[in-house]
């Protein structure tokens, strides 16, 4: 009766909703095992008594044996019911723990999906960059949570392999968790891409505005300089204006890469089909138009200063040529033929500009005279034309007078070079004679045959 009632209690269905309740039932169930174990001595005693009665031929042996067999069968059923209930409760605990961990990951996923679905990327470069940093940290968090998912998958697989009573539900939940985490990773990659586009767009808007403001500033500067340029009449002031304009041109040229980079960013956004592609295209067009207008105005202003450019080039070239002539005149007047062969050779190289970037020939002289002719044909003040003609004449006269002096000095150096070569050869020969005389003045005739043969070979070598 006790075994039957206890087995019925063990087979009764227990309703629990969480791991805590299942654990409490498991503790109660483990206590029942102690009660069963306490009855084992009674079962053994009755079984032994039955065996004894059968062996002694008791008149009720058959009835006793039947009842003992029924008792042992009930005992076996009780143990079976206990073990089944134990496995069921353990599986319930495992299931509740699995579901609890799955719910934790689900809750994390819900919050992360909400964060990733946000379309607020910021408008300024600084704000978007801050969003990128936050997303970097977010991605690292996702990676660290992959370990939790892996542990849950391992737990779920083990439960299924152990033939858990709710294996189908466990497999379904695993698929849901894994699919959801994969979706989060895809959303994460998509948000990173959108953040990159947002950063590029913010940079484009900022750089485009800065470039546009810079171009407007330079255009206003050109307009302001136009008035003062119109009042310039003499060449000296024009040259100053030219030098100022050349510095302005250099500044504009230095910013060409900056403008090109802004346009490339805009074109990249258009190519990526940014949602504001139409506005971006319009901004790129406006920037290109403003830049081209500035370039045309700079070029036009430069053409207006072409006359000053020519006179500046003429003066610059003449300054270099006159410096070259002065250097050659100093060499001619010094008439230095060199201390020795090496010094003489260095003078010859300097005279012929071998190691110098400044090479003067008839073509260069012709070029400077052509430039002078161009300046003289332009409309300019009489005193300016007179200065150009006077500088040209003075230079040509110096050039012509220098040619004869250069040729004479070159001949002088060539002659000195031959003398230096002769002196070097004489010195080398005298030195060799001295060496041989010293070697022949030694009285050593050798101590043995080998030493005599060595001295003889040395003597023969001196004759060569």
Separation in Å, CA 421 to CA 82, 210, 296, 336, 349: 123, 70, 64, 16, 16
Structural domain includes residue 342: yes
- Domain end among 95, 124, 145: 95
Q: What is the pLDDT of residues 194-230, one digit of tens each?
A: 888 888 888 888 888 888 898 898 888 877 776 555 4
**Distinct helix (H) and strand (E) counts, the chain:** 13, 0
CATH code of 454's domain = 1.20.58.60
The token pair that represents 211 in the structure block: 């470039």
DSSP 353-378: TTT-S----HHHHHHHHHHHHHHHHS
Q: What is the pLDDT of residue 414?
A: 82
- Domain end among 71, 95, 119: 95
Structural domain includes residue 254: no
pLDDT at 459 over 80: no
pLDDT at 31 over 60: no
Structural domain includes residue 356: yes
Structural domain includes residue 386: yes
Which of 101-105, 119-123, 299-303 is predicted most confidently?
A: 101-105
Give me the chain's average pLDDT, please: 76
pLDDT at 335 over 70: yes
Once rounded to an integer, what is the mean pLDDT over residues 166-195? 88
Quote the CA–CA distance of 103 and 97 in Å, as a whole number.
Answer: 10
Q: What is the pLDDT of residue 141?
A: 85
The token pair that represents 407 in the structure block: 């040729």
Return the closest-CA partner of residue 203 out of 291, 283, 135: 283
Structural domain includes residue 60: yes
Higher-confidence residue: 6 or 175? 175
Q: What is the pLDDT of residues 353-366, one digit of tens each?
A: 666 666 677 787 88
- Domain end among 43, 69, 95: 95
Once rounded to an integer, what is the mean pLDDT over residues 282-311? 79
Q: What is the pLDDT of residue 227?
A: 59
Higher-confidence residue: 380 or 74? 74
Who's near 149: CB < 8 A, 6+ residues apart? 105, 177, 178, 181
Once rounded to an integer, what is the mean pLDDT over residues 133-141? 86
Is residue 75 very low, low, confident or very high in pLDDT (cuts 50, 70, 90)?
low
Supply the DSSP symbol for 120: -
- Percentage of the chain modeled with pLDDT above 90: 1
Q: What is the pLDDT of residue 200?
A: 83
Structural domain includes residue 1: yes
Domain range for 21: 1-95
Quote the CA–CA distance of 154 and 177 in Å, as a whole number.
Answer: 13
Number of domains observed in the structure of the chain: 2
Higher-confidence residue: 325 or 79? 325
Once rounded to an integer, what is the mean pLDDT over residues 435-460? 67
Q: What is the pLDDT of residue 118?
A: 77
Who's near 128: CB < 8 A, 6+ residues apart? 121, 122, 195, 198, 199, 202
Q: What is the pLDDT of residue 130?
A: 85
pLDDT at 232 over 70: no
Structural domain includes residue 255: no
Quote the CA–CA distance of 348 and 326 in Å, as a whole number.
Answer: 17
Q: What is the pLDDT of residue 37?
A: 62
Structural domain includes residue 451: yes
SS3 247: helix
SS3 146: helix
- Residue whose entry in the numeric block shows the structure tokens 């041109």: 249
Higher-confidence residue: 178 or 86? 178
């Amino acid at each position: 009766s006790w075994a039957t009632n206890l087995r019925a209690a063990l087979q009764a269905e227990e309703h629990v909703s969480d791991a805590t309740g299942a654990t409490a039932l498991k503790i109660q169930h483990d206590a029942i095992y102690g009660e069963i174990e306490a009855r084992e001595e009674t079962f053994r005693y009755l079984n032994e008594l039955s065996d004894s009665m059968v062996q002694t031929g008791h008149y009720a042996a058959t009835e006793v044996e039947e009842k003992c067999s029924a008792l042992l069968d009930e005992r076996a059923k009780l143990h079976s019911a206990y073990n089944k209930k134990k496995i069921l409760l353990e599986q319930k605990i495992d299931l509740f723990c699995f579901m609890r961990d799955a719910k934790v990951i689900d809750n994390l996923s819900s919050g992360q999906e909400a964060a990733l679905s946000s379309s607020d990327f910021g408008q300024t470069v600084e704000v978007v960059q801050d969003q990128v940093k936050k997303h970097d940290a977010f991605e690292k968090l996702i990676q660290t949570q992959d370990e939790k998912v892996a542990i849950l998958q391992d737990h779920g697989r083990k439960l299924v392999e152990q033939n858990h009573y709710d294996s189908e539900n466990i497999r379904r939940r695993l698929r849901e968790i894994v699919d959801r985490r994969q979706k989060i990773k895809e959303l994460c990659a998509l948000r990173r891409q959108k953040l990159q586009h947002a950063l590029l767009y913010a940079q484009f808007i900022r750089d485009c505005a800065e470039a546009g403001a810079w171009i407007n500033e330079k255009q206003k500067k050109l307009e302001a300089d136009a008035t003062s340029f119109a009042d310039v009449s003499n060449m000296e002031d024009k040259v100053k204006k030219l030098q100022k304009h050349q510095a302005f041109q250099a500044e504009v040229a230095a910013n060409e890469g900056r403008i090109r980079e802004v346009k490339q960013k805009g074109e990249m956004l258009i190519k990526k089909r940014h949602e504001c592609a139409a506005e971006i295209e319009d901004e790129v067009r406006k920037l290109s138009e403003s830049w081209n207008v500035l370039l045309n105005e700079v070029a036009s202003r430069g053409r207006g200063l072409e006359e000053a450019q020519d006179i500046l080039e003429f003066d610059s070239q003449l300054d270099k040529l006159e410096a070259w002539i002065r250097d050659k005149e100093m060499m001619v007047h010094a008439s230095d033929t060199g201390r020795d062969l090496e010094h003489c050779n260095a003078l010859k190289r300097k005279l012929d500009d071998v190691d110098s970037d400044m090479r003067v020939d008839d073509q260069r002289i012709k070029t400077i005279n052509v430039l002078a002719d161009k300046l003289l044909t332009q409309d300019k003040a009489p005193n300016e034309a007179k200065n150009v003609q006077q500088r040209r004449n003075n230079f040509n006269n110096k050039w012509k007078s220098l040619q004869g002096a250069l040729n004479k000095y070159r001949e002088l150096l060539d002659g000195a070079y031959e003398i230096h070569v002769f002196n070097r050869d004489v010195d080398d020969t005298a030195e060799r004679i001295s060496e041989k005389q010293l070697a022949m003045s030694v009285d050593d005739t050798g101590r043995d045959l080998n030493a005599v043969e060595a001295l003889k070979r040395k003597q023969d070598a001196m004759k060569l």
